[in-house]
A and B are shown apart, each in its own frame.
Chain A
Amino acid sequence: MSGSRARRDRLRGRAGRLQGMDARGTQLLLPDDLSASGAADRLAGLVPVVTQAAHSIDRTFWDTFDGRLHAAGLALADAGNRLVLMDATTYSEQASGEHVRGARRLLLVDLPAGALRAALAPILEMRALTPIARVRSRLLPVNVLDDVGKIVVRLRAEEPTALPGAKAKLALRPRLHVIAVRGYDTEFDLVLALLTGELRLEAAPRPVLDDAVEAIGGAIGGTSSKLRVALDPADRADAAAVTILRRLLAIIESNLPGTLADVDSEFLHDLRVAVRRSRALQRELRGVFAPEPLRAFRDGFRELQAVTGATRDLDVQLLEFGELAAGLGDGAAADVAPLRRLLELRLVAERNKMVGALRSRRTRALLDNWGDFLDGLVLATEVDRPDAARPVADVAAERIGKVYLRMVKMGQAIDDDSPHEALHDLRKKGKELRYLLEFFSSLYPPDVVKPMVATLKGLQDVLGRFQDREVQADLLRALGDDIAAMEGGAAALMAMGVLVERLTEQQEQARAEFAQSFEQFAAKPQRKVVAKTFG
C-alpha cells in the first residue's frame, strides 16, 4: 500500500462511518474525439445500458487550508442548500446535511448536528472549511443493466468547467466515472475491461476537483505547514540553514492571511511554530550568520513571537474550555458561562492588537528583509561566520550533542525543592533540542534518533502539562476581579476556584511524573549513544 493511500485510509478510519457504503470506482478520461453521449452509445453496443437525462450541477467545493479532506480522498460540496460529503473519485455520498447559505467559512460547530458533522469531526478537528473551487458539471448518467434490468454498474459522464469568477470559465478534462454497485464486482470488472480495452479509455490521474483547483491557481491538496526539507550531510551549514529558514518563512507567509482574517486558530498556531523554529535555528546555528544583522533579526522575531502570544493563550483557553467546564458537572458548567464570555471579549481585544502589529510596516519589513538576507547569505563574506562553510552534519551534531548534555545537567539538578522556573527552563531547552532533531534528524541513523525523539517527547509532554496548567491557572486568577463584577459573577468565581484547584492538581501530577520521564530521557545507554553519534 502506498504512503498516501495508507494516510487516506487512516484518515477515513478516524471517521469510522465513512467506510461501509464506499463503492469501488474509478475515473477514465474521455478523449477529445469522444463525447459523453458518444461513449454511452459505444458502450450500448457492448452491454445493455439505460441512459438517463443529462443535467447540469453547480458545486462549490470546500476543504481546510491544509487539505484534510483531500488527504482522506474525500470532497465536500454544496449544491443549493445541502452540503454533501462524498468520495472524491466516485462521488458516492458519505453523509450530508443542511448548508448555511452565504457562509464563507465553516467550523465544525457551524454544521448541523447529525451524520455530516459526526463524519467530519475527527478529520477537521479545530480547522475551518473554506471554499476552494466552484465547478459546473454537465452530467450524463448511464447505467449498465443485468438480464433482469437491474443496475449493476453506474457510469457518470462528466463535462466539468471551473468557475474562477463571475464570468470566467475554464473547461476541464471530461471524464467517465465508473462506479461499482455493491455485490456486483464481477460486472464492474467486466465493464471496466470493456471501457479500457474496446474503447481504449485511460485512467484519469486525479479527481476533477484537483484539475479545478490547479486551473484556478490553487494548491492541490491544500497548503502544508510541515517542514519537509531534504538535506545532504555534506551541505554547507549556511546553505542548509537557508533551506530550512526559507521553508519556515514560506510557512509564516502562507499562514499570515488566515491569521489576520481569523479563519481558524491553526493559522496562528502554525505561524507561531514557524517563528519559534526560526528563532531556534537562529540561536543554535548562530555561527553561520554574521552577528550584527542576526541580532536585529532575532529581536524582530522575538517581537513577532511576543505580539502573538496573548492571542494564542486565549485561543488555547477557549479551545479547551468545553472539556474543562464539562469536568465540573452540569450545574457548575453553566456557572462558568460568564468566564467564557470574558475570555471571548479578551480574545477580541488581544486579536485586534495582534492584527495591528502583524499588519504593520515593521512586520512586513522584517519578513521581506529576512527573505532578502537569506537569499544573500551563502555568497556573503565568511568573516565572522566560522561555521558557514563547514558540513552541516558536523555543525548540527555539535549542537544536538551539546543541547542534550545541557538538558541532562539541568534535569539532574532538579529536585522536589526546585522552583517552577527550573522546569520551565528545561522545557525551553527541550524545545530547542526537538527542533534541532526535526531539522537535522535525516542526517543521522534512525536507530539513534528515534529513541531519542521518543524519550524527549515523553519528557516534553510532562513538562508541557506542568507549564500549561500553571499558565491556565494564572490566567484564571488574573480574571477574578473582572468576573466578580459581571452578572452571575459570584457563581462563576466559585466554579473558577474549582477549576484552578483542578489545574493545580494536574500540575502537581505532572511534576510527580517528571522524575520517571527524565530518567528515561537521560538513561546511561542513551547518553552513550548520543555521545558517540553527536560527539
Chain B
Amino acid sequence: MTTVVALYNIKGGVGKTSAAVNLGWTAAEQGARVLLWDLDPQGAASYLLRIKPKVRGGGSKLVRGKSDPAALLKGSDHERLDLLPADFSYRNMDLVLDATKRPRRGLRRVITPLAADYDYVFLDCPPAISLASESIFATADVLLVPLIPTPLSIRTYRQLRSFVADEVPKPRPRILAFFSMADGRKTLHRSIMEELRAEADGVLATAIPAASDVEKMALQRRALAEFAPRGVAAKAYGTLWDEVRTGL
C-alpha cells in the first residue's frame, strides 16, 4: 500500500522542498522505497538532489498519459530514493490539466503505474491554490503543511483547512501541519505554536528549527542526513518523520 504525502502550502518559502527532500531521505534510510515528485517548476528539490530539472516530453505529455513515467525517473544518491524531476513546463500545469477530460485525476494518472514500486510517494508542490492543487488534493493521502509561526501563515492555514473541508470532494486528504523555520527565542513564534496546537487538530508536536544547516543544503546539494546528520535540524526531521509515520 503506497502512501502519497504532499508537502503543500499556498505560501512559498515555508520549507516545503527542504521537508520533502529530508523526509524522503529519512524514510529511505529507514528501509522504505520512496519516490519524490518535484512538481515545482523552479525545480529546487531536483537541484538539491543534483538532478537536472528536465522531463522528456514535458509535463503536458506526462499528465496526458503520453509519456511512460517509469522511464523518466532518476535515482538519487540514496539507493531507495528515486526522483521524478521537475520541468519548467510544469508552470503551465493548470492549462494542461484543464485540457484533459478529468483534470482532478491528472496527477493520479502519473502515480498509479509507479505506486506498486514504492512505499511512499512525496509530492513537492508549488505554492498556489489552483487546478493543479485540486489535482494534488485528489491524489494525496496526506497534505503535510509546513507553517512558519507567524499570524499571516496561520491565517493561510485556516483558509486551506476551510477550502479542503468545503470545496474538496471526498475522499479528502488528511491534513497534518508542522512548524517550520521556528525560532524558539521569539516569543511570537512560541505563543503562536502553542495557540495553534491547542486550537487545531493535526498540528504535529515536532517543529523544524530555523537552522543554518537547512540553508546550507542549497550549497551542499545534499540531504541534511548526508552532511550534518547530528545537527538539530536533521534530528528534527527524523523526529518529524516518526511522528508523521505514526500518524499515518
Seen from chain A, the residues whose Cβ lies within 8 Å of a Cβ on chain B are 16-17, 19-21, 23, 82, 92-93, 96, 115, 143, 146, 148-151, 154, 181-184
Contacts and interface: CB of A to CB of B under 8 A. Distances in A.
A20 B116 contact: yes
Contacts, number: 47
Contacts of A182: 73-75, 82
B77 A20 contact: no
A182 B69 CA distance: 13
Contacts of B75: 23, 151, 181-184
A304 to B, nearest CB: 46
Given A17-B117, A20-B116, A150 B77 contact: yes
B50 A149 contact: yes
Contact of A148 (B50, B79, B117): B50
Contact of A183 (B33, B74, B116, B118): B74
B119 A115 contact: yes
Interface in B152-184: none
Contact of B50 (A20, A21, A96, A150): A150
Interface string B30-41: 010100000000
B239 to A, nearest CB: 22
Interface string B66-81: 0000101111010110
What are the 3 tightest A-B residue pairs by CB atom distance, in nearest-first order?
A: A20-B117, A182-B75, A150-B50
A115 B117 CA distance: 10
B30 to A, nearest CB: 10
Contacts of A16: 116
Given A96-B31, A150-B50, A150-B51, A20 B70 contact: yes
Interface in B40-90: 49-51, 70, 72-75, 77, 79-80, 82
Nearest to B31: A96
Given A148-B50, A148-B221, A184 B114 contact: no
B175 to A, nearest CB: 27
B114 A20 contact: yes
Given A16-B116, A182-B75, A182-B82, 10 more contacts: A17-B117, A20-B118, A21-B33, A21-B82, A21-B118, A146-B50, A148-B50, A150-B50, A181-B75, A183-B75
Given A148-B221, A181-B75, A182-B73, A21 B117 contact: yes
Nearest to A152: B75
A165 to B, nearest CB: 32
B246 to A, nearest CB: 16
Interface residues of B, number: 20
Nearest to B77: A151
23 contacts: A17-B116, A19-B117, A20-B70, A20-B118, A21-B82, A21-B118, A93-B79, A93-B80, A115-B119, A143-B77, A148-B50, A148-B221, A149-B50, A150-B49, A150-B51, A150-B77, A151-B75, A154-B79, A181-B75, A182-B73, A182-B74, A182-B75, A184-B74
A82 B31 CA distance: 10
Contacts of A17: 116-117
Contacts of A183: 72-75
B173 to A, nearest CB: 23
A186 to B, nearest CB: 13
Contacts of B70: 20
A143 to B, nearest CB: 8
Contacts of A143: 77
Contacts of B114: 20
A201 B117 CA distance: 33
Contacts of B119: 115
A93 B31 CA distance: 9
A183 B73 CA distance: 6
A16 B113 CA distance: 12
Nearest to A114: B119
Contacts of A96: 31
Nearest to B115: A20
A19 B117 CA distance: 7
Contacts of A19: 117
Given A149-B50, A150-B50, A150-B51, A21 B74 contact: no
B155 to A, nearest CB: 40
A92 B79 contact: yes
Interface string B102-133: 00000000000010111100000000000000
A328 B117 CA distance: 34
A114 B58 CA distance: 35
A206 to B, nearest CB: 23
Contacts of A20: 70, 114, 116-118
A40 to B, nearest CB: 18
A184 B82 CA distance: 12
A148 B46 CA distance: 13
Interface string B204-248: 000000000000000001000000000000000000000000000
A20 B111 CA distance: 13
Contacts of B49: 150
A184 B77 CA distance: 12
A433 B227 CA distance: 69
A148 B47 CA distance: 10
A170 to B, nearest CB: 29
Contacts of A92: 79
A244 B180 CA distance: 73
Contacts of B118: 20-21
Nearest to A19: B117
A278 B31 CA distance: 49
A20 B71 CA distance: 11
A19 B50 CA distance: 25
Contacts of B73: 182-183
B75 to A, nearest CB: 4
A521 B90 CA distance: 62
